Structure 1
């Protein structure tokens, strides 16, 4: 089992040592054809501001890592990425293979991306404080004097010491929001209290939940999620949170992402038999289906 989400993606796509290379290339070519035949389905779900060609290029790049996953789960995961306008690049969102199931996993940069889309939000910032950095936090002081962080640029990240804090804030119409600070014990408390996937992975001994394989990524996401409480957000961000919670509730196996149900089981590449595919209607973030507003 790989240590990180990115390593798991790479490991899942690695060819077997005794498999002829020509077979892998043939399977890969079939998968690419399968994806291309459904390109319109994904691109039609993208928000208007997302470049469709680039999104499909990123999707093609990760497809080899999903070679053991069912086409239905790949479709559902990529469509979830498309609906929220997040690239499956491992930074905004990831598509992680769990056995034969491709799983949509939003990352903290994806949440930041959705925060940026609110017209009142000027910028969103996230960073880590390391042990040897200069920093101070005085919550009773007026903004922006309440928080200070100066990284040790003369040192490497390793020499700066271990991470001790994650923090995030936003600038909203020229004013800085409250600074959200999350230390490691607080992140662990969130994990222990709320993550069903973590508890399931602990109980079955597999330790393969995102909290096990990439703790820092989940720590960062927890901090950014707290930031949404103090900044104006669009309705799509609340939907992304629910989709993320659904996947976690399923215990590292994705539940149906709202609005992305595939009409019927898909066949493998080249096995359609000439039958016409029936695709569901996908909502398009930013298309007017929801009005901007604050979420709790």
Structure 2
């Protein structure tokens, strides 16, 4: 049978069939990879211009493997958050963390640094760990840059250098170095105990599954860099990321409100209960319509 005949046979009786749904709504039985591929333009439309779209899509595809048990609506929200800030979900700039069936956008300390770099006055940003046998000194009364000194023991392995005792961060702004932010483990613990509602909630429930429980060092590092945010030139984008991070901690795993973006708290269950995975993938706008949110609302509208 020729190709022409096979096509004719396959399309015969089409008039008697029910109209097909748009491609954007045919993802119920798709794999996560197929779902993302169908919507890659929808997400990449939200990316800042300097971010490579193909690379972002490749990193997002790799991240999808561990999200197969998460609700599609939460995956949609988390990926859109990454795209909105131009942060790759690679576990370094940002992570998409599965938590009780919900995919959760989690900015990492390198994500904060990436947004700092985008300010035209910021020349560079530095973060580091000081270990027990490293050479270092900090004298706040000395003028910059003589007030801080760190020389790692490159002749030793990390284990031989001893345990981490300090996290530090600073930036060079208009050719001058900023204040050095130094945070020890005890200070990080106090920040956790005082400010993290997610940690307190996990302790109270006995689940011990907050980010502070599962990766203390990552949260320690982010706490140091977040303090640096207060002494560098800020931007709307950086302020929004900080607010999104705070919203995430307030709700533990519910999709956060991202001020000035299309992300909203959709279908959040009451009393802190988590919903079971949805039966179908969420409807999305067609590629090229990034001005609309996942629920059809205009970008920038707060829910």
TM-score grouping bracket, smaller chain normalisation = 0.7 to 0.9
> Residues of 2 paired with 1:276 and 1:193: CA distance?
39
Instruction: Give CA deviations for 1:192-234 in whole Å, capped at 9, x if unaligned.
Output: 0000000000000000000000000000000001011111121
Please state whether the residue corresponding to 1:159 is helix, strand or coil: helix
Deviation at 1:174, TM superposition (A): 1.1
Partner of 1:213: 214
Partner of 1:130: 131
Deviation larger for 246-255 or 174-183:
246-255
8 Å Cα contact 1:139/1:146 also seen in 2: yes
Instruction: Give CA deviations for 1:222-266 in whole Å, capped at 9, x if unaligned.
Output: 000101111112110000000000010002433343423379888
Partner of 2:3: none
Please state whether the residue corresponding to 1:158 is helix, strand or coil: helix
TM-score, normalised on structure 2? 0.79
Aligned residues: 255
Structure 2: tracts of 5 or more residues without a match? 1-27, 268-277, 294-298
Partner of 1:106: 107
In angstroms, what is the RMSD of aligned CA positions?
2.5
Deviation at 1:124, TM superposition (A): 0.1
8 Å Cα contact 1:170/1:231 also seen in 2: yes
Does residue 83 in structure 1 map to residue 84 in structure 2? yes
> Residues of 2 paired with 1:160 and 1:250: CA distance?
38
Matches within 5 A, 1:187-198: 187-198=188-199
Does residue 261 in structure 1 map to residue 258 in structure 2? no
Partner of 1:115: 116
Does residue 167 in structure 1 map to residue 177 in structure 2? no
Change (3 A) 1:98 1:183: same
Please state whether the residue corresponding to 1:80 is helix, strand or coil: helix
Partner of 2:146: 145
8 Å Cα contact 2:240/2:258 also seen in 1: no
Matches within 5 A, 1:267-282: 268=280, 277=285, 281=291
> Residues of 2 paired with 1:223 and 1:261: CA distance?
27
Does residue 183 in structure 1 map to residue 184 in structure 2? yes
> Residues of 2 paired with 1:184 and 1:152: CA distance?
20
